Amino acid sequence: MTSAAGYSVPKIQIRELRKAFGPKQVLDGVDLEIAAGESLVIIGGSGTGKSVLIKNIIGLIRPDSGSIMIDGRETTTMGAADREDIMHKFGMLFQGGALFDSLPVWQNVAFGLIQVQRMARAAARSRAIEILAQVGLPAEVADLSPAELSGGMQKRVSLARSIATQPEIMFFDEPTTGLDPIMGSVIDALIVKSVRELGATALSITHDMASARRIADHIAMIHGGKIVWSGPVSEIDHCDNPYVDQFINGRAEGPIQMQVKR
Amino acid sequence: MPILAPIGRSTIAFFTVIGRVALFTLLSVSHCVRPPIFPRQIGRQMLEIGFYSLPVVGLTAIFTGMVLALQSFTGFSRFSAESAIPNIVVVSITRELGPVLAGLMVAGRVSAAIAAEIGTMRVTEQIDALTTLSTNPHKYLIAPRLIAGLLMLPLLVLVADIIGVLGGYLVSIFTLGFNPATYLKNTWDFMQPIDVISGLVKAAVFGFLLTLMGCYHGYNSRGGAQGVGQATTNAVVSASVLIFLSNYIVTTLFFAE
């Protein structure tokens, strides 16, 4: 997206974002920019506020202060109708899949098509089967219930659901957590392929470095509620940031101390 | 002030909960009356809340009617007032026992199921997923349940009224030796429309409250399986208490001089 002045407006721009839960300051002034079409992966240990950051951007959580701009529009002060407009641009893959277990697989995938885009059910069903094929699932799974699928299959269905409405911005919350390494890299490959096909901007959070290297154009590391390093994925091994160094090498000793409480 | 502090704290906590429930109710009701509505969801909930509650409500009603006839016979025969039994049965069932017992049974069945389902959806991020799919959870999950509760409870109570009176009739005819024709005639003559109508109004109020409590506690559940269990318990307990409370209020509105 290019503004009248000629410089390009970031797809997502976050300034000084703060959020506390009770006495715990989870986000303490996060600054982040994601260009259109870029895939940014945020890495960081458990309980460092990665999920909270994503939920703030989507609008599931309201920040205490700071600014979140999507396509140059401030979202933190938006009314419900504008927020709904913005929501149409989003697709999200949840950590546990978050499939609706009361609905069969195809209705999960076609949920946005039926409920939001008001597509006829028969058409939505055949569209859902096409999208399932894109994530490597046969048409037979369409009528199964999500509970009958393995974890990897559920992730794929969830990915299918999040790409079905052709979002402009995709969020991936720990896409490989709980999967074996092979299924993990299959999901990563599907994510890269889907994001490329959609031409979408992607924001992922993970603590799996192998996965981060496969998905990311850029990587940002969050620690103590702040972004402590960000740069292209090629530079991560040569940066002399002690936090990044400790994290990617998985060392117990270093500036990052284990937190017991979230 | 070590004595006053806890009193103040619990008072504030109490009014906080009242405020939260009130806001939740307003938001949910506003979504019931604003489009888009989800007719498929409403139909599904009507089946779940209404149709599948029929057996438990029917069984409760028939035994209540039976025991009512039996007990009033023991009491009333001392004053040779057995002929009042059809009257007692029909008034008690339609005004009080039908709606209250059906409400309590459905609260146990439906409030718990709603709280557990929505609570599980909350802790497995399914409610967040709904939001990211541009679907308002209040509209998609809560409004259909409230509408279904409001519409189905009166129907259930109508069935309970009929079965309850039937229970009283059966016991009166087969064990207490009443004349069937006289019993029916007395029942019919004594029954006032207001008895039935007030019962059905109560049923609608109970239906709204018990689905509301299921939704509220489920929607606000936290912390995994234990949180969902807690939400389920709270839903049933608060629904039951609210049924008794609102029963008194509605009775006052209808019948107080």
What's the pLDDT tens digit per position in B138-161? Answer: 999 999 999 999 999 999 999 999
- B-chain residue closest to A93, CA distance: B129
Least confident of A166-170, A248-252, B200-204, B207-211: A248-252
- Are residues A29 and A132 located together in one domain of the fold? no
Query: Do B129 and A94 lie within an 8 Å CB cutoff?
Result: yes
Does A116 reach chain B within 8 Å, measured CB to CB? yes
Residue A180's pLDDT is 84
Residue A259's pLDDT is 58
- Are residues A184 and A145 located together in one domain of the fold? no
Does A102 reach chain B within 8 Å, measured CB to CB? yes
Does B134 reach chain A within 8 Å, measured CB to CB? yes
Burial B175-184 (b: 16+ CB within 10 A, else e): ebebeeeebe
We report the CATH number of the domain holding residue A19 as 3.40.50.300
- How many other C-beta atoms lie within 10 A of the C-beta of residue B64? 23
- Are residues A18 and A60 located together in one domain of the fold? yes
Nearest-by-Cβ selection for B125 from A94, A101, A111: A94
Does A82 reach chain B within 8 Å, measured CB to CB? no
Q: How many domains does chain A have?
A: 2
Is residue B218 within 8 A of residue B116, CB to CB? The reply is yes
Is residue A212 within 8 A of residue A224, CB to CB? The reply is no
CB pairs under 8 A between A and B: 54
CB-CB neighbors (< 8 A) of A146 in chain B:
none
How far apart are alpha carbons A137 and A159 in whole angstroms? 11
* Residue recorded with tokens 């039926």: A114
- Are residues A42 and A62 located together in one domain of the fold? yes
- Are residues A179 and A253 located together in one domain of the fold? yes
Query: Do A90 and B38 lie within an 8 Å CB cutoff?
Result: no
| Residue at A97 is within a domain | no
Look up the domain containing A127 and give its range: 103-166
Query: Do B133 and A101 lie within an 8 Å CB cutoff?
Result: no
How far apart are alpha carbons B42 and B143 in whole angstroms? 8
Does B117 reach chain A within 8 Å, measured CB to CB? yes
* Domain end point (choices A166, A186, A221): A166
User: Model confidence at B257, in pLDDT bands (50, 70, 90)?
Assistant: low
Burial A152-183 (b: 16+ CB within 10 A, else e): bbbbbbbbbbbbbbebbbbbbbbbbeebeeeb
Helices B193-219 + B143-174 axis angle, to 10: 140
Query: Do A84 and B134 lie within an 8 Å CB cutoff?
Result: yes
Residue A3's pLDDT is 44
- Are residues A193 and A254 located together in one domain of the fold? yes
- Are residues A261 and A179 located together in one domain of the fold? yes
ipTM of the complex: 0.85
Mean pLDDT for B44-70 is: 93
How far apart are alpha carbons B246 and B257 in whole angstroms? 18
Nearest-by-Cβ selection for B134 from A95, A116, A162: A116
A251: closest CA of chain B, how far (Å): 31
Query: Do A91 and B131 lie within an 8 Å CB cutoff?
Result: no
- B-chain residue closest to A85, CA distance: B134
DSSP state of B202: H
Q: What are A125-140's pLDDT values in tens digits?
A: 999 998 888 888 888 8
Q: Regarding predicted confidence, which is higher, B79 or A262?
A: B79
Nearest-by-Cβ selection for B126 from A55, A100, A116: A100
Query: Do A96 and B125 lie within an 8 Å CB cutoff?
Result: yes
**What sign does the CA torsion over A243, A245, A248, A250 have?**
negative
B132: closest CA of chain A, how far (Å): 6
Does A140 reach chain B within 8 Å, measured CB to CB? no
Query: Do B125 and A88 lie within an 8 Å CB cutoff?
Result: no
Query: Do B132 and A91 lie within an 8 Å CB cutoff?
Result: yes
| Residue at A217 is within a domain | yes
Query: Do A115 and B117 lie within an 8 Å CB cutoff?
Result: no
What are the residues whose beta carbons fall under 8 Å from the beta carbon of B223, sequence distance 6 or more?
B123
* Residue recorded with tokens 């995994």: B224
Is residue B246 within 8 A of residue B205, CB to CB? The reply is yes
- Are residues A152 and A178 located together in one domain of the fold? no
Query: Do B128 and A165 lie within an 8 Å CB cutoff?
Result: no
CB-CB neighbors (< 8 A) of B137 in chain A:
none
> Which pLDDT tens digits describe chain A residue by residue (262 residues)?
444 444 578 888 888 888 888 888 888 888 888 888 888 999 888 778 888 889 899 888 888 888 898 888 888 888 878 888 888 888 899 888 899 988 999 999 999 888 888 888 898 999 999 888 888 888 888 899 999 988 888 888 998 898 888 888 999 988 888 888 888 888 888 888 888 888 889 999 988 888 888 888 899 988 888 888 888 888 888 888 888 888 888 877 778 776 555 5
* Domain end point (choices A130, A147, A166): A166
Secondary element (H or E) of residue B154:
helix B143-174
Query: Do A96 and B38 lie within an 8 Å CB cutoff?
Result: no
- Are residues A141 and A158 located together in one domain of the fold? yes
Which residues 171-210 of chain A have a CB within 8 Å of chain B? 171
Residues in a beta bridge with A231: A219
DSSP secondary structure string for all residues of A32-65: EEE-TT-EEEEE--TTSSHHHHHHHHHTSS--SE
Residue B101's pLDDT is 94
| Residue at A230 is within a domain | yes
- B-chain residue closest to A171, CA distance: B132
Averaged pLDDT of chain B: 91
**Amino acid in the structure at residue B242:** L
- Are residues A260 and A181 located together in one domain of the fold? yes
Is residue B196 within 8 A of residue B97, CB to CB? The reply is no
Residues in a beta bridge with A65: A18
How far apart are alpha carbons B210 and B108 in whole angstroms? 9
DSSP state of A2: B
